[in-house]
Structure 1
Amino acid sequence: MAESWVNSAERIGADLHLELSGPGGRRAALIRALREAVREGRLAPGTRLPPYRSLAADLGVARNTVADAYAELVAEGWLTARQGSGTRVAERAEPLGAPERVPKEAPPRARGPRHDLRQGTPDASSFPRAAWLASYRRALQQAPNAAFGPGDPAGRPELREALAEYLARARGVRTEPGRIVICSGFAHALRLLFPGVLRGPLAVESYGLGFHRELLAAASVRTVPLPLDEDGAQVGELGRERAVLLTPAHQFPTGGPLHPERRAAVVDWARARGGVILEDDYDGEFRYDRKPVGAVQGLDPEQVVHIGSVSKSLSPALRLGWMVLPRRYVDAVLAVKGEREAWASVLEQLTLADFLASGSYDRHVRRMRQRYRGRRDRLVAALAERAPHIEVTGIAAGLHAVLRLPPGTERSAVKAATWQGVALDGLAEFRHPEATMSAPDGLVVGYATPSEHAYGAALEALCGALPPGL
């Protein structure tokens, strides 16, 4: 291909000479030419590159060719792209040097993640140590001697009583202590239910945790994806399945509650088929711009297994969760669990019981709800200022947001985040492999994990990794 000059003095300060040559088409040639210009120092750190349209016109190539080349070089760390300041050569601590000092195609080394914006964990620095210690001391002092013997597989009665009261008051769950079985979390609940109590196939939402699908597959349970829309899972698509797994309070990870008509419809489906609904209430306490959404279990306790834990509200390190079961499943679950408690510490169960009964849990949740709402608002404000072309969804509740990206940019954005030292997930990571609904590009950004003092830097790095607007 011929040599090309970019006459863009008003945009980058000097004419730029690019030689588009070699195999792989114009996109690959442009990427090589830009890398070489950076290596040789003809494009100094901080230099602003021409907009897509201008460079495409100068070189006689398609605008998408330039956009793809810029995105690839941003992902590799050669360039940075920020809303309002355009695409620039990345700043570096040391100059890259001449070609003889750096192998021709050696990309810069990626830095390890400094900012954790992955979904799924709360701010560990906010664990209520003093209040938890006070509950632990009271629980230890008041525990009956029997508590120090073999553990009841159903869980300590003190905790089951406290949970029955709390779940009825805060989540609209209809139950009594005898229908609650303590477990170590949602994954443990699935292991207890499948295949010993329930059988597949199991209908699931088209987006969810791959770990849960892998766990079910290991138990020889086939999962059948249900399409999603703005009203949640399309439960009208349920077929011959005898069970369905839903996140009705806040669909994971896309966000939004299951529409009231669909909540009623899935309960009717369960009654008609003798089926069961598994309700994953993973972050039901955290809502910001909407009224609380009660548990589906409250519509019919005999058709729903309600599953919750303290992994999001307190800490996943506690390994404490619960199942609120239809009566017909209680004995079967306890038979699978065995004669003795092998998972959840009795002392931690007693501590959580006191933490709930004393009101410490409610106070902690209210405090964290305000903190996480502030985190969410800072994320939305940063994106509105730095990347207004990025749509933010799923933010009325929960501990994460979904950033909708331009088509075809998700993989490069995840790579760019890695180069910026940001750990996060692309939306495609959560898609069921058999899902047939459209697959939008997006990033799942958890805003709960960083400590308060580190959050601002995490947002800055995130904005630096996002693709620019066209």
Structure 2
Amino acid sequence: MHNGPAVWFIWEMESWATFGGDLHLDLSAGRARGLGLRAALEDALRSAARDGRLPPGTRLPSSRALSGDLGIARNTVAEAYAQLTAEGWLTARQGSGTVVAERGTPSAVPATAGLLRTPAVRFDLMPGRPDVSLFPRSAWLAASRRALTVAPHEAFGYSDPRGRIELRRALAEYLARVRGVRTDPGRILICAGYTQGLGLLCGALREQGVRTVAVEEYGLPPQHRVITAVGLETVALPLDQDGARTELLSGSGVGAVVLTSAHQFPTGVPLRAARRAAAAAWARETGGVIVEDDYDGEFRYDRQPVGAMQALDPERVVYAGTASKSLAPGLRLGWLALPAALVEPVVRQKELADGQSGAFEQLTLAELITSGGFDRHVRRCRLHYRRRRDQLVAALAERAPLVRVTGIAAGLHAVLQLPPGSLSEEELLRQAGWLGLAVNTMSDCRAASAGPAPDAPPALVIGYGTPPDRAFAGALDALCTLVSL
């Protein structure tokens, strides 16, 4: 049983021109502790101000209005206001009413004496991250306006879990033209980035009896965690200068394999034609599934684009793409081009996960693609990242000539192979922290199922996309200092 009122207020601007919002004041907590009405009101107002429900600058109702809503004496409210004003929670000015006071931000608690603080990151050189300052704000805004103008009303309701047909049609044409993907809108599913897409796919594969997935010996650790979180095991495929050794799939007992065929992450080598053919043959013979992660297929510099291997066998290869590198990770837009047999199982997983992806972003991206704005943006980004790559290579050649730079014909990262006798990867990471650098090592990218890394000179995996232009020279200076230690 409540010992006091818990009242919702809707204070209208017409009745008094000071607040005009909803506020829940629960006096029962104070009353349960034996407080009188005035003390309970003070406690409720104090709590609302402390936890942010009444932010600084909020005007409170007059004592007359609040007493009427609460059904208590006006003097009780006036005395509560006076007490909270004296404590500094409220301020009262002639003609301005009673206002929640501004409060200073509490000072940070100093670090305990004797403990080392982690140095602040000044330069983010982690791989797999784009320069988000390149996001085409004006083009995106224009595309969103055009898309909203023509969008049907039903676009903003519950709709097909595969995604908006406008975007699926645009992607089917774009992927065929740019990446050689053979698909149709009915077999494309829009998801919240590659991570969700991989999780949905692994869930569907597990339902169909798959228990083990082959992954490349080096790759993205989050990808491996997604696979194992679904309940699948991973087996590592060794890598060499021709990419993953897909001939080892035969007899391995795995039900699926994940490949970064156009630009292996992190080594940067493309999967050679014979290796692609071996993977496709394995899939046809065993009923296995190939997941092609085309994470940065738009960005190539010194070579002709490497087409998607999905075209070898659209019924055995899932093509996975994303807007995270080409536009921005914050959009959370990715897509799967699925074999016909996997459409329904993956759609069921999507329905269970979140029902559907956001319509507004899908409609805007569809308009950006069909209008040609996306192509123009990608071309600008390609030139930008190529300049970045050239600056990186030139700086290392001048200041750290013994460092070998590989994997730079495409993408947003490079592998820096340091000479024998250099600092260990563990020590490089420690020194990078003191230089304000965030970097990855090759060991960071090694699949857990691959076992311990073989003895080899240390290597760093450096992303050159993230720092804004104003900070890139400083990032290169710090990096050259690191690899010269």
CA distance in 2, matches of 1:177, 1:136: 21
Residue in 2 aligned with 1:373? 386
State the AA in 1 paired with 2:444.
Answer: E
CA distance in 1, matches of 2:326, 2:356: 20
CA distance in 2, matches of 1:340, 1:193: 12
Q: State whether structure 2 residue 474 is matched by structure 1 residue 466.
A: no
Q: 113, 121, 128: which is aligned to 1:120?
A: 128
Q: Which secondary structure state, in structure 2, belongs to the residue aligned with residue 396 of structure 1? A: coil
Q: 1:439 to 1:124 in 2, by over 3 A?
A: farther
Residue in 2 aligned with 1:173? 181
Residue in 1 aligned with 2:293? 280
Residue in 2 aligned with 1:328? 341
Residue in 2 aligned with 1:215? 226
CA distance in 2, matches of 1:346, 1:107: 49
> Structure 2 matches for 1:222-241, cutoff 5 A?
222-238=233-249, 239-241=252-254
Residue in 2 aligned with 1:432? 447
Q: Is the 8 A contact 1:152 1:340 kept in 2?
A: no
Q: 373, 396, 399: which is aligned to 2:409?
A: 396
Residue in 2 aligned with 1:85? none
Q: Is the 8 A contact 1:391 1:404 kept in 2?
A: yes
Q: Which secondary structure state, in structure 2, belongs to the residue aligned with residue 388 of structure 1? A: coil
Q: 142, 146, 171: which is aligned to 1:163?
A: 171
Q: Which secondary structure state, in structure 1, belongs to the residue aligned with residue 290 of structure 2? A: strand
Q: Is the 8 A contact 2:260 2:294 kept in 1?
A: yes
- CA offsets per residue over residues 380-434 of structure 1, 9 Å max, x none? 0000000000000110000000101235622222211111111111110010123
Q: CA deviation at 1:344?
A: 2.1
Q: CA deviation at 1:366?
A: 0.5
Q: State whether structure 2 residue 204 is matched by structure 1 residue 196.
A: yes
CA distance in 2, matches of 1:212, 1:382: 32
CA distance in 2, matches of 1:430, 1:458: 22
Q: CA deviation at 1:253?
A: 0.9
CA distance in 2, matches of 1:107, 1:337: 46
State the AA in 1 paired with 2:156.
Answer: F
Q: CA deviation at 1:110?
A: 5.4
Using the aligned pairs only, state the percent identity. 55
State the AA in 1 paired with 2:450.
Answer: A
State the AA in 1 paired with 2:236.
Answer: P
Residue in 1 aligned with 2:426? 411
> Structure 2 matches for 1:352-367, cutoff 5 A?
352-367=365-380
Q: State whether structure 2 residue 473 is matched by structure 1 residue 456.
A: yes
Residue in 1 aligned with 2:267? 254
Q: CA deviation at 1:145?
A: 1.2
Q: Is the 8 A contact 1:424 1:445 kept in 2?
A: yes
CA distance in 1, matches of 2:149, 2:279: 46
CA distance in 2, matches of 1:426, 1:232: 19
CA distance in 2, matches of 1:402, 1:158: 39
Q: 1:192 to 1:339 in 2, by over 3 A?
A: closer
Residue in 2 aligned with 1:299? 312
CA distance in 1, matches of 2:137, 2:254: 44
CA distance in 2, matches of 1:185, 1:110: 31
CA distance in 1, matches of 2:415, 2:124: 15
CA distance in 1, matches of 2:154, 2:119: 53
Q: Is the 8 A contact 2:130 2:465 kept in 1?
A: yes
Q: Is the 8 A contact 2:234 2:449 kept in 1?
A: no
State the AA in 1 paired with 2:293.
Answer: D
Q: Which secondary structure state, in structure 1, belongs to the residue aligned with residue 129 of structure 2? A: coil
State the AA in 2 paired with 1:418.
Answer: G
Q: State whether structure 2 residue 253 is matched by structure 1 residue 245.
A: no
Q: Is the 8 A contact 2:203 2:349 kept in 1?
A: no
CA RMSD of aligned residues (A): 1.7
Q: Which secondary structure state, in structure 2, belongs to the residue aligned with residue 224 of structure 1? A: strand
What TM-score, normalized by structure 1, do the two folds share? 0.75
Q: Is the 8 A contact 1:203 1:244 kept in 2?
A: yes
Bigger mean CA offset, 430-439 vs 270-279: 430-439
Q: 1:339 to 1:212 in 2, by over 3 A?
A: closer
Task: Determine which structure has more spread, i.e. the larger CA radius of gyration.
Answer: 2
Q: Is the 8 A contact 2:414 2:462 kept in 1?
A: yes
- CA offsets per residue over residues 227-286 of structure 1, 9 Å max, x none? 000100001111111110000000011111001111111101101111110000000000
Q: Is the 8 A contact 2:163 2:356 kept in 1?
A: no
CA distance in 1, matches of 2:352, 2:117: 54
CA distance in 2, matches of 1:108, 1:334: 49
CA distance in 1, matches of 2:225, 2:138: 38
Q: Is the 8 A contact 1:127 1:314 kept in 2?
A: yes
Bigger mean CA offset, 430-439 vs 336-345: 336-345
Q: Is the 8 A contact 1:152 1:339 kept in 2?
A: no
CA distance in 1, matches of 2:119, 2:221: 27
Q: Which runs of 5+ in 1 are unaligned?
A: 1-105
Q: 1:107 to 1:457 in 2, by over 3 A?
A: farther
Q: Is the 8 A contact 2:161 2:357 kept in 1?
A: no
Q: 1:340 to 1:388 in 2, by over 3 A?
A: closer
Q: 1:427 to 1:457 in 2, by over 3 A?
A: same
Bigger mean CA offset, 342-351 vs 401-410: 401-410
State the AA in 1 paired with 2:442.
Answer: L
